[in-house]
Chain A
Amino acid sequence: MSNITLGRYVPRDTFIHSLDPRVKIISLILLMVAIFISYSTWEMTFIMAGILGLFIFLLALISNTSFRLLFKSLRAMWFLIIFLLLINILIKPNNAEIIAFSIGSLDIYWESIFQSLKIIIRLFLMVSLTMILTTSTKPLDLTYALEWFMKPLKVIKFPTHEIAMTISIALRFIPTLLNEVERIMKAQTSRGVDFKHGKISSRFKAIISLIIPLFIASFQRAEELADSMEARGYDPKAKRTTYHKLRFSVNDLFVFILCGAFMAATIVFSVMNFTIKTPLFVPWLVIGCCLVLFYLFGLGAANARRYKK
């Protein structure tokens, strides 16, 4: 069960938790773009990946996301990773020149190794970022933010509120359903069902004995919820206010600027074909990184102090 709950919200009192969900979503997108920028040379690619990795590592540190969880997600992707490695190694890249080593008659190029490494790093960074977002933001806040982003669509009579409501109800019921799955599994296990071992036919029966009660219970839940919403006078068309107002603070502005600058920098590096040989590039990069690190470390220290209290 614990695999499914990967990336579940963990209530903590950190800087990242307190940010505006809208800013967090935008920052996620900005950083994702930064992850997917490619550069002219491999050195640049890996240097920038390293910097992004460090940045994300610090974000995880500040938001108190457990690293074990992050690496678990990597473990969950092992199949994908092996598949990518195989594909990349078997297919000879166009511009491949230097052979890393050969297995029998199969030549393996550095190019293909780098290529697969790049994809794996990107995947890992992306998943880590998303996990940091979901573990540090209440699902409900995320839907509020989504609703806010969809606001302009209201002009063309797009049912933004209904969609946000549907999403938030769906999110709300994920843990409930997981609990339900656990409960029914236990009940059927007590009746001699074995979900883990056995023949295909008995495994199939086992799944049926789980799915049917689950469906029945969910439909019942849905109906009850609909009734109780109706009984309390819920009207999707009505103008509504929210208990939690989304607030944009100075911190949010800082984070937004930081992530924006990050993305802008990566784009500039990529477009202008910067390499480590470009004059003055390395010193500026180091200075920039140091500034960001300084800022983040300051936050981390402030956090740690608050935890001790």
Chain B
Amino acid sequence: MKLKFNHVDFFYGTKAPYLFQALNDIDCEIKEKSFTCIVGHTGCGKSTLIQQLNGLLIPSKGSVFAGDFVVSSNKKERTKKLKPLRQKVGIVFQFSEYQLFENTVEEDVAFGPMNFGVKKEEALKIAHESLLKVGIGESFFKKSPFDLSGGERRRVAIAGIMAMQPEVIVLDEPTVGLDPRGVKEMMLLFKQLHEQGTTVVLVTHDMNLVYGYASDVIVMDHGKVVYQGGPHELFNRSVDEYSLETPLVTKLIQGLENKGYKFDLQKIAFIDDLVDEIVKQRRTSK
């Protein structure tokens, strides 16, 4: 499912006495089956942007196209029923751990699919699968979601969206507050989803993750899209321009390149890859 923003403006507080422009002429595209990262400073409008993707917020101007769905400021063009869109584009919100409410973990995860017409047994089956995928073992299935730790709740919330089997999964800072191993596990899960054909949209502040996993990057600043393209071009050239942090791998590579090494950036996503590459190069040079 391709997602396209067509000159989107968004204002907060159109009904209240104050007005704030959160999005300013957004015109960009999220490719089908891509792993797109959205980055930018706090308050630049990332969360606002992703809420346009399933019609939770309606653009004040312009339109968003999601497959056959149109979310437009123009009532006539807008798709009438947005609920099916919400099944196709699943959003995991920032602080998603606070949205759980059912008696048991499994019921909470099954809540989403059941809302979209899946029968209870079937939904529970899907719920179990999703829970196992996010690393929540069987012993947790019958527990109350309120007895879990923050990190575990986050995983349950993510499983809740995954269980809806969306074509696009949008994650708003899903790894904040997880331990390093948890982050790695989560990211591998998203990578796996991506490889199985789901479009993944990830909002994050961690440039190492962007470097390691993204196929596309969108950089935002003050409600505008200032960069759209691959991660390597971004980090090799224009990091300073957008005052983003340089990923560790890039720093290392730049240091090594000054010492005469040459690398194929497409092959190196993580420090591990870099180490392998260095070892290989030293061997061949001997």
Known A2-B15, A191-B164, A192-B115: A212·B86 in contact at CB below 8 Å: no
Contacts A187-B96, A191-B164 given; 15 further ones with Cβ under 8 A?
A: A2-B16, A10-B18, A183-B98, A187-B99, A189-B56, A190-B90, A191-B112, A191-B160, A191-B161, A192-B112, A193-B115, A194-B83, A208-B101, A209-B101, A213-B99
> A187 to B93, Cβ gap below 8 A?
yes
Q: B51: CB under 8 A from chain A?
A: yes
Q: A251: CB under 8 A from chain B?
A: no
Q: A273: CB under 8 A from chain B?
A: no
Known A5-B16, A216-B146: A190·B98 in contact at CB below 8 Å: no
Contact indicator per residue, chain B 86-113, by CB within 8 Å of chain A (1) or not (0)? 1100110101101111000000000110
Q: Give chain A residues whose Cβ lies under 8 Å from the Cβ of B95.
A: 183
Majority secondary structure of chain A interface residues (helix, strand, loop or mixed): helix
19 CB contacts below 8 A, A to B, read: A2-B16, A5-B16, A69-B17, A184-B99, A187-B93, A189-B56, A190-B56, A190-B86, A190-B90, A190-B91, A191-B111, A191-B115, A192-B83, A192-B86, A192-B87, A192-B112, A192-B164, A209-B101, A213-B101
Contact indicator per residue, chain B 176-195, by CB within 8 Å of chain A (1) or not (0)? 00000000000000000000
- Assembled-state Cα–Cα distance A217/B95 (Å): 11
> B98 to A213, Cβ gap below 8 A?
yes
Q: Give chain B residues whose Cβ lies under 8 Å from the Cβ of A216.
A: 98, 146
- Assembled-state Cα–Cα distance A189/B111 (Å): 12
- Assembled-state Cα–Cα distance A218/B206 (Å): 30
Q: Give chain A residues whose Cβ lies under 8 Å from the Cβ of B91.
A: 190
Q: Give chain A residues whose Cβ lies under 8 Å from the Cβ of B15.
A: 2
Q: Give chain B residues whose Cβ lies under 8 Å from the Cβ of A191.
A: 86, 99, 111-112, 115, 160-161, 164
> B93 to A10, Cβ gap below 8 A?
no
Q: A228: CB under 8 A from chain B?
A: no
Task: Looking at the assembled complex, report how far the CB atom of B138 sits from the nearest CB atom of chain A, in whole angstroms.
Answer: 23
Q: B199: CB under 8 A from chain A?
A: no
- Assembled-state Cα–Cα distance A8/B15 (Å): 12
Q: A40: CB under 8 A from chain B?
A: no
Residues of A bordering B, CB below 8 Å:
2, 5, 8, 10, 66, 69, 183-184, 186-194, 208-209, 212-213, 216-217
Contact indicator per residue, chain B 68-99, by CB within 8 Å of chain A (1) or not (0)? 00000000000000010011001101011011
Instruction: For B93, give its contact among A5, A183, A212 (CB under 8 Å).
Output: A183
Residues of B bordering A, CB below 8 Å:
15-18, 51, 54, 56, 83, 86-87, 90-91, 93, 95-96, 98-101, 111-112, 115-116, 146, 160-161, 164
- Assembled-state Cα–Cα distance A190/B17 (Å): 28
Instruction: For A186, give its contact among B16, B17, B51, B112 (CB under 8 Å).
Output: B51
Known A2-B16, A217-B98: A192·B56 in contact at CB below 8 Å: no
Residue of B nearest to A135 (CB): B17
Q: Give chain B residues whose Cβ lies under 8 Å from the Cβ of A5.
A: 16
Residue of B nearest to A190 (CB): B91
- Assembled-state Cα–Cα distance A194/B95 (Å): 21
- Assembled-state Cα–Cα distance A191/B51 (Å): 13
Q: Give chain B residues whose Cβ lies under 8 Å from the Cβ of A2.
A: 15-16
Question: Which of the listed residues A10, A69, A189 has the most CB atoms from chain B within 10 Å of its own CB?
Answer: A189
- Assembled-state Cα–Cα distance A184/B93 (Å): 9
> B111 to A209, Cβ gap below 8 A?
yes
Residue of A nearest to B100 (CB): A213
- Assembled-state Cα–Cα distance A184/B164 (Å): 18
Known A5-B16, A216-B98: A190·B146 in contact at CB below 8 Å: no
- Assembled-state Cα–Cα distance A192/B160 (Å): 11
Task: Looking at the assembled complex, report how far the CB atom of A107 sits from the nearest CB atom of chain B, in whole angstroms.
Answer: 44
- Assembled-state Cα–Cα distance A184/B160 (Å): 14
